[in-house]
Chain A
Amino acid sequence: MTADQVAGRIESGMTIGIGGWGSRRKPMALVRALLRSDVTDLTVVSYGGPDVGLLAAAGRVRKLVAAFVTLDSIPLEPHFRAARQSGGFELMELDEAMFMWGLTAAAHRLPFLPVRSGLGSDVMTVNPSLRTVTSPYEDGEEFVAAPALRLDAALVHLNRADAYGNAQYLGPDPYFDDLFCEAATDAYVSCERVVETAEFAEAGGPQTLLVGRQEVTGVVEAPNGAHFTSCVPDYGRDEPFQAAYAKAAADPAAWREFTERFLDGDEDAYQAAVAAFAKEGA
């Protein structure tokens, strides 16, 4: 598939999960394809980074489910910040672990999973729909019932995939991309390179085969497709570009300029503009 074909399968109003973590291995080429489409009114479920920032800046987010939104080396995501401060979208603010168990519950087709986290915190106050559950055993402990985070679609980016949807991560952390796919009705994997299935073994042990084809609806070959987030070992985060993104995001005129230069064309135009930007800095 192409990234634009994936975007074509996403309907306005859907709940979409976006893999990666902060500014790490985000499916940015797929996010850019969403920006080129007219899809809107999305509920976005994400360990948030610039994926959330870009979609929020374009007004595509109705509701966000997240524990944070960060650029990692720049702690605060400026578009997320601006959207929150202007009441730009609804937020379901969860703890990082509660979020993981919510995805896990969805993957296991359970309505909830019990967690200790959340009790006593304002996560319970700002999410009045959260309920607690009491252990039926002699301890009688009370827990938060982390609700299943079911997804209509998941978007993830991995280092390698085959044409059938098996996908491999080669960096130090899988993040939660397998859970996102398992929690979703449809899952789309973009990757740096589509390879023959037989090539996986050479790149890493069987434990690097994170996502199975039974979970995957479509595969997109998108070299540099996590840019400007990190996708180790293929590449690290593009810090100068991210800094330029954050700077532009803080000012409406600069953001229009950034959008025209980088986001108004297709993915090839984006990658060419990024290459030109890198040359300027060198």
Chain B
Amino acid sequence: MSEGTAPGAAATRAEYCVIACAEAWRGDGEILASPMGTVPTIGARLAKLTFAPELLLTDGEALLIGDVPGLGEAARVVEGWLPYRRHLAMVTGGKRHVMMGASQLDRYGNQNISCIGDWRRPDRQLLGVRGAPANTLNNPTSYWVPKHSTRVLVEKADMVCGVGYERAAAAGPSATRFHRIPRVVTDLAVLDFETTDHRMRVRSLHPGVSPERLREATGFPLDVPADVPRTREPSAEELRLIREVIDPRGLREREVRP
């Protein structure tokens, strides 16, 4: 779909995903929202336009922007300068909540974006660890998975880039001090680690997704209670902002298959 959804139409799966991503930044205060991917970017902008106006956003390069442009539009207001060297300071200073992608993610939140297979000679070389080790040890790190499947939600990540809960605990107090994975948003559900042993838990299922479908798409045993909540409905105003202001070309629908 390349055209925007008609006003008044029921929310699409991609729009539930946008809402779920936006919710990740609720209550974060005056920190930098660093979304990676189209749906998280729409979510961060929606949060700033509605319940989290104090969030900081970048233009995706070196500028902090003071307005909230639509996708692909240039910002008109620059409120600050954030070249990579200062961005790295923002990561380690903690005033940031990043939502990264994941090629693999396991039940404790260990994330891989580096390579598939044996690191010494991988079957598939991917991005490399990038900033995942620093992100996960220094500021809240959430994840966005546009296609929830047993290939992504795996028993064990081949190369741990983003650090999960049990690995952080094993590495000691310096590793756990600022470590937090608030949530994982996928095209099927919202998950978190708010269990006693920090194993992944279902927080809400998107409307139209059955508990069986979620279990089958997950590569490790996942408890999905029959009475698990549904992801909340977007308000009419949120749908208007998504469809008419932030993403009028409907790019969100390309990232999430219906």
The answer, among B85, B120, B121, for a CB contact under 8 Å with A174, is: B85
The answer, among B83, B85, B134, B173, for a CB contact under 8 Å with A115, is: B134
Q: A120-B163, A141-B174 are in contact. Are A172 and B83 (CB under 8 A)?
A: yes
User: Which of B11-19, B123-131, B199-207, B212-220 faces chain A?
Assistant: B123-131
A86–B125 alpha-carbon span in the complex (Å) = 10
* In contact, B130 and A96 (Cβ under 8 angstroms): yes
* In contact, B128 and A67 (Cβ under 8 angstroms): yes
B160 beta carbon closer than 8 Å to chain A: yes
* In contact, B172 and A142 (Cβ under 8 angstroms): yes
A21 beta carbon closer than 8 Å to chain B: yes
A40 beta carbon closer than 8 Å to chain B: no
- Among B118-168, those with CB < 8 Å from A are 119-134, 136-138, 159-163, 167-168
B114 beta carbon closer than 8 Å to chain A: yes
Binary contact readout A88-103 vs B (1 if CB under 8 angstroms, 0 otherwise): 0000011111101000
A273–B137 alpha-carbon span in the complex (Å) = 47
Binary contact readout B157-197 vs A (1 if CB under 8 angstroms, 0 otherwise): 00111110001101111110110000000000000000000
* In contact, B132 and A85 (Cβ under 8 angstroms): no
* In contact, A117 and B122 (Cβ under 8 angstroms): no
12 extra interface residue pairs, beta carbon distance < 8 Å, beyond A115-B134, A172-B61: A67-B131, A81-B124, A87-B121, A93-B119, A95-B132, A116-B178, A118-B134, A119-B175, A121-B161, A121-B163, A123-B161, A142-B172
Interface residues on chain B, number (Cβ under 8 Å)? 46
Residue numbers in A under 8 Å from B127 (CB-CB): 68, 70, 75-76
B256 beta carbon closer than 8 Å to chain A: no
- Among A204-238, those with CB < 8 Å from B are none
A80 beta carbon closer than 8 Å to chain B: yes
* In contact, A98 and B133 (Cβ under 8 angstroms): yes
- Which one of B134, B138, B168, B175 has the highest number of Cβ atoms from chain A below 10 Å of its Cβ? B134
B71 beta carbon closer than 8 Å to chain A: no
Q: Interface residues of A toward B: which range?
A: 35 or more
Residue numbers in A under 8 Å from B136 (CB-CB): 120-121
- Which one of A95, A118, A143 has the highest number of Cβ atoms from chain B below 10 Å of its Cβ? A95
* In contact, B83 and A97 (Cβ under 8 angstroms): no
* In contact, B133 and A117 (Cβ under 8 angstroms): yes
Closest CB in chain B relative to A44 CB, distance in Å? 14
B62 beta carbon closer than 8 Å to chain A: yes
Q: Give the 3 A-B CB pairs with smallest separation, nearest first.
A: A117-B134, A68-B128, A120-B171
Residue numbers in A under 8 Å from B167 (CB-CB): 120-121
Closest CB in chain A relative to B95 CB, distance in Å? 15
The answer, among A76, A80, A126, A175, for a CB contact under 8 Å with B119, is: A126
B91 beta carbon closer than 8 Å to chain A: yes
Show 30 A/B contacts (Cβ-Cβ < 8 Å), sorted by A: A67-B130, A67-B131, A68-B129, A68-B130, A70-B127, A70-B128, A81-B124, A84-B121, A85-B125, A87-B120, A87-B121, A94-B129, A95-B129, A95-B131, A97-B91, A100-B85, A116-B134, A116-B174, A118-B134, A119-B133, A119-B171, A119-B174, A120-B136, A120-B167, A120-B175, A121-B136, A121-B161, A122-B159, A141-B174, A174-B85
